[in-house]
């Protein structure tokens, strides 16, 4: 693994189903983030974690939950998916001791029908 | 709350020419960072250039440079000698010095014509 990986690459999901998007980084970054990207809206922050064991809400947290059991993994869960959650989801990480750059994963395209 | 505005949904440029993408932001803070990210059709988010607000000198990375006007809260990206591979969505982003969270603009789609 080099950088940030996300799984799955894409997914079609029936409304009402539960879904977990996976994110793993191997850079030992303390901070991790989940964004959603929608046409005309750019990227918006869903949840973040400054360090393992802590999480916080971003701009659009409703309908999503996260956990940060260790430094490397930051899964995003949709407990009961709705069509408005159709989007491209990006995971990112950063090291506050570094140059403030956030590194992004390749994204997951999620379609909720 | 901070906001980032990109007023140009689409721009186009001829290969080898120069193009400037606009970005303005709103903040009451004096210490922050500004970024330009490129998103090609592959969907990968790639950092193009970074500017620290406390630095007066405009950042430059090869063919990419910024015009940072702190008083006007403006942060435009200039691409010189445009190449076909520059075609992408470009996002401007703001980050406070006190948090790690990025605030993005809505993006500008750049087309490059041969």
pLDDT mean values, one per 10 residues, chain B (114 residues): 94 97 95 95 94 91 95 97 97 89 94 96
B87: closest CA of chain A, how far (Å): 17
What are the structural domain ranges in chain B? 3-109
Interface residue B50 vs chain A (CB under 8 A): yes
Task: For the beta carbon of residue A82, count every other beta carbon within 10 angstroms.
Answer: 11
* Strands, E assignment, B15-63: 19-21, 24-26, 32-39, 46-52, 60-61
Q: How many domains does chain A have?
A: 1
On whether any CB of chain B is under 8 Å from the CB of A86, the answer is: no
Split at pLDDT 50, 70, 90, the class of A98 is low
Domain encompassing residue A44: 4-112
> B3-109 is classed in which CATH architecture?
Sandwich (2.60)
Name which of B50, B103, B106 is nearest A101 (Cβ-Cβ): B50
Is the CB of residue A74 less than 8 Å away from at least one CB of chain B?
A: no
Look up the CATH number of the domain holding residue A85. 2.60.40.10
What is each CA distance from B67 to A73, B70, B77, B105, in whole angstroms? Answer: 37, 10, 7, 17
């Amino acid at each position: 693994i080099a950088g940030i990986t996300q799984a799955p690459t894409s997914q079609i999901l029936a409304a009402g189903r539960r879904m977990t998007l996976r994110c793993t980084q191997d850079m030992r970054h303390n901070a991790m983030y989940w964004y959603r990207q929608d046409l005309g809206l750019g990227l918006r922050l869903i949840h973040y974690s400054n360090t393992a064991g802590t999480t916080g809400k971003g701009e659009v947290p409703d309908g999503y939950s996260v956990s940060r059991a260790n430094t490397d993994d930051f899964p995003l869960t949709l407990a009961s998916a709705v069509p408005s959650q159709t989007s491209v989801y990006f995971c990112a990480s950063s090291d506050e001791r570094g140059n403030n750059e956030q590194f992004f994963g390749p994204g997951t395209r999620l379609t909720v029908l | 709350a901070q906001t980032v505005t990109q007023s140009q949904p689409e721009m186009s440029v001829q290969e080898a020419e120069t193009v400037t993408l606009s970005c303005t932001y709103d903040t009451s803070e004096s210490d922050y960072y500004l970024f330009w990210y490129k998103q090609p059709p592959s969907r990968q988010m790639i950092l193009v250039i970074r500017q620290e607000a406390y630095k007066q000198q405009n950042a430059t990375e090869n063919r990419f440079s910024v015009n940072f006007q702190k008083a006007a809260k403006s942060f435009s990206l200039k691409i010189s000698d445009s190449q076909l591979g520059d075609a992408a969505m470009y996002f401007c982003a703001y980050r406070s010095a006190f948090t790690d969270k990025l605030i993005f603009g809505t993006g500008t789609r750049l087309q490059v014509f041969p």
